[in-house]
Structure 1
Amino acid sequence: MQNFIGDQARDVAVVGAGPAGLAAAVYLARFLRSVIIFDTGDGRAKLIPKTYNCPGFPDGISGEDLLVRLREQVKAYATDIVQDKVERLERTEEAFTLTTAGGVMRASYVVLATGVIDKAPTIVGLREAIAARTVRLCPVCDAYEAAGHRIAVAGPERLALKEALFLRHYSPFVCILSNRPADISQTTRLVAGAAGIEIWDIVDDLVPRGSGLDVVMADGSPSRQIDVLYASMGCDVRSELAAGAGAHCDEDGYILVGPHSETSVQGLYAIGDVAKALNQIAVGFGHAALAATHIHNALSARRDRATLRAEAG
């Protein structure tokens, strides 16, 4: 673990080193602000095998490669990236304190880019299946690549139906997987049927095989095959630090932000997937630009007020 000097306050602390957090750090460093980034190394972007809807990469780019590029860009400005987890965030009168196993850091402003953790079905070799793109987590990101394939959706009824209807635009074959008939209401069955979406009840297991998955049925009937499984099971939002500092979150845990990505706590910002918005890399980049610019302007205004007071006194 990289240590840091706890007595050295920074202009800004960025918590999270995914695409949004790293982009914010680049902006802030180019504004000549002192920045420290806290990275736990388990960001969602690392799971992306290849994305084709990240602007500027017509041939696609993996999440890992994108992070490498962004980290290199951050390091060009001598910005510190600390491998440590922020365990507590507190607002004081003049600054924030961030407590980690490595010490306590003070920062005038804080940017939370802590992201979310996707929920996924229990499948042997899940990470390998995600890497092979037979299990996918975001149809907005990659439904284009799944067009025309045999697609299944797994998740709670409401979420699964919403995602299946979205995916039906891309493929003539979309089904919803269910462990028990009672898990799917008659209303959902009617809506799905009208859209040409099948519902497979009594699913017992999912087994990666070749370029797809076998859907094993609980009644012993022959397994069925699909090309792609979309896990529509929701996610756990990493908003604990924000909530602990008093920031407002919605019922799902997403941090509520204003037009400049500032939370209800002055000086505390939330960007990327942890904020209430569309969970996309491009959106995270936009959040980063808005938050960093707003922070820079606020720091400049603070300096100007201090100068005026000094001249007046």
Structure 2
Amino acid sequence: MDDCIIIGAGPAGLTAAIYLTRFHLSIRLFDCGSSRAALIPCTHNHAGYPAGVAGTELLRLMLEQAEKYGATREQAEVTAIVPVAGGFDVQIGDRTAKARTVLLATGVVNNRPDMDPAEHDAALQRGLLRYCPICDGYEVTDKRVGVIGTGDHGMREAIFLRGFTPDITLIAPGAAHELDDACRAKLDEAGIVHVDGPCTPIRIAGDRIAVETPAGPLTFDSIYPALGSVIRSKLAVAAGANASQDGCLEVDEHQRTSIPGLFAAGDVVKGLDQISHAMGEAGVAATTIRNLLAEQRPIRR
């Protein structure tokens, strides 16, 4: 039986793997290969990389560091977490792995706009399509920016981006905008244009990105989809862990879920969806796991 099974090899999972292996604990790391961090062409707000770093390169370096201390990553999808006496049974297809503790670091999946997948990925790599204004709003400073979204969530993202550029247009993904009077007043006060949808097709147009709307075609330097995300918490929820209405796992200040021995860190937990935040949560979770296991059985060399 392993000391800990980590599910997910994004920034949170790999940070935990580094900590736990350096605590001389036995771990297994399962990953289905879909970390959101891998989609980042180049992040410039992650400390320690003045020239920026691609998400794939950051993950490569973190995995290399974890492997240096004995961690191994297995490309496999975990299908269930089952609490049992003394720990957990973790199911991977028709196999079962056993561990004293489990750390869930499965993250979230962005809801994408209605767009050809190949065109979407090409636009993402070129910075024509962006998902995180906290991460890269600086890169659209004083540029023409479109936000696809509506309601309070779309309004708040457009207002946030207004801190980087005066040229913002909020486009409804469906038909008419779902904006109440308060949302419209805030948009108008900020000088943000709001246009009804649908906004399709969305396509690359030279060095810009173009959107068709009922009001006519619009072109932008970058577009931010503000369409929410799917929280990948179903494994923990199915095991009985508490989660918020939108699916974020509820944890205490030590990253403990409501199930003893089951921890969670990163974007799957409610909080700031940032690499640095995920890594910090993973460090807290890993240290708490180590101390919990030491209470059960002394850890000595």
Calculate the TM-score normalised by the size of structure 1: 0.91
- 1:32-64: CA deviations, max 9, x gaps? 000100010111111100001111111100100
Contact 2:101 2:261 in 1 (8 A): yes
Deviation for aligned residue 1:251: 0.7
| Match for residue 84 of structure 2 among 79, 92, 108 | 92
Contact 2:16 2:286 in 1 (8 A): yes
The answer to whether structure 1 residue 251 and structure 2 residue 245 are counterparts is: yes
- 1:242-263: CA deviations, max 9, x gaps? 1011111001100011111111
Within a 5 Å distance, the mapping from 1:289-300 to structure 2 comes to 289-300=283-294
- 1:79-113: CA deviations, max 9, x gaps? 22111111010111211000012510000000000
CA distance in 1 between partners of 2:20 and 2:265 (Å): 14
Question: What's 2:162 paired with?
Answer: 168
Deviation for aligned residue 1:193: 0.6
Deviation for aligned residue 1:294: 0.7
Within a 5 Å distance, the mapping from 1:143-222 to structure 2 comes to 143-178=137-172, 179-205=174-200, 206-218=202-214, 221=216
Specify whether residues 260 and 153 from structure 1 end up closer, same or farther in structure 2 by C-alpha distance, changes over 3 A only. Answer: same
CA distance in 2 between partners of 1:101 and 1:172 (Å): 51
| Match for residue 263 of structure 1 among 249, 253, 257 | 257
Question: What's 2:25 paired with?
Answer: 33
| Match for residue 131 of structure 2 among 134, 137, 148 | 137
Calculate the TM-score normalised by the size of structure 2: 0.94
Q: Which amino acid aligns with 1:33?
A: L
Question: What's 2:44 paired with?
Answer: 52
| Match for residue 22 of structure 1 among 14, 18, 23 | 14
Question: What's 2:114 paired with?
Answer: 122
Q: Which amino acid aligns with 2:284?
A: L
CA distance in 1 between partners of 2:29 and 2:43 (Å): 25
Contact 1:84 1:102 in 2 (8 A): no
CA distance in 2 between partners of 1:28 and 1:283 (Å): 18
Contact 1:203 1:215 in 2 (8 A): no
The answer to whether structure 1 residue 63 and structure 2 residue 55 are counterparts is: yes
Question: CA RMSD of the aligned region, Å?
Answer: 1.5
* Unpaired runs of at least 5, structure 1: 1-8, 306-313
Contact 1:24 1:289 in 2 (8 A): yes
Deviation for aligned residue 1:114: 0.4
Contact 2:150 2:177 in 1 (8 A): no
CA distance in 2 between partners of 1:278 and 1:36 (Å): 27
* Unpaired runs of at least 5, structure 2: none
Identity of aligned residues (%): 35
- 1:137-158: CA deviations, max 9, x gaps? 1111110111111111112322
Q: Which amino acid aligns with 2:203?
A: V
Q: Which amino acid aligns with 2:133?
A: P
CA distance in 1 between partners of 2:167 and 2:276 (Å): 29
Question: What's 2:277 paired with?
Answer: 283
Report the count of equivalent residues.
295
Deviation for aligned residue 1:134: 0.7
- 1:153-175: CA deviations, max 9, x gaps? 11232211000011111101111
Structure with greater Cα Rg: 1
Contact 1:49 1:63 in 2 (8 A): yes
Deviation for aligned residue 1:218: 2.7
Specify whether residues 304 and 79 from structure 1 end up closer, same or farther in structure 2 by C-alpha distance, changes over 3 A only. Answer: closer
Deviation for aligned residue 1:203: 4.4
Contact 1:207 1:214 in 2 (8 A): yes
CA distance in 2 between partners of 1:279 and 1:182 (Å): 26
CA distance in 1 between partners of 2:177 and 2:90 (Å): 47
Specify whether residues 20 and 33 from structure 1 end up closer, same or farther in structure 2 by C-alpha distance, changes over 3 A only. Answer: same
Question: What's 2:227 paired with?
Answer: 233
Deviation for aligned residue 1:228: 0.9
Specify whether residues 189 and 213 from structure 1 end up closer, same or farther in structure 2 by C-alpha distance, changes over 3 A only. Answer: same
